[in-house]
Amino acid sequence: MKFVQTNKAPAAIGPYSQAVVANGMVFTSGQIALTPDGVMLENDIVIQTKQVLQNLEAVLEEAGASMQSVIKTTIFLASMDDFATVNEIYAAAFGSHKPVRSTVAVKTLPKNALVEIDAVALVK
């Protein structure tokens, strides 16, 4: 088992790792709209979703994976009213690659984020 840490994504804000590689797979922690230096972005679903996906991509790359090797994602939304907007940005980030996905509405996310995404991917 290998613990993953990159400065291209925000550090974990609790007692956990950005990701763990095990048995040829990487399991990421949920990413929220913190910049790599730890600043929470404004309360805008478009801006936050783009940052979350950038963070996710940076963690995956550090682990030896990519967006194209993602098997499954989970999206946590503070409001299902944002589903269509997040879906559009998510689709652009993954292109023709379509991993399986779950999307759930939650009452509150860390730092009052609007969206959080985690992933499971194959390591190259």
Q: What is the pLDDT of residue 31?
A: 98
Q: Which domains does the chain have, with CATH numbers?
A: 2-122 (3.30.1330.40)
The percentage of residues in the chain with a pLDDT greater than 90, rounded to a whole number, is: 99
Q: What is the pLDDT of residue 25?
A: 98
- How many C-beta atoms lie closer than 10 Å to residue 105's C-beta? 13
Residue 25 in contact with residue 99, Cβ under 8 Å? Answer: no
3-state secondary structure of 36: coil
Structure token pair of residue 48: 């936050």
Backbone torsion region of residue 18, taken as left when φ is above 0, otherwise alpha when ψ lies between -120 and 50, otherwise beta: alpha
Start-end of H helices in 1-124: 45-62, 83-94
- 32-44 confidence digits (pLDDT tens): 999 999 999 999 9
Q: What is the pLDDT of residue 118?
A: 98
Average pLDDT, the chain: 98
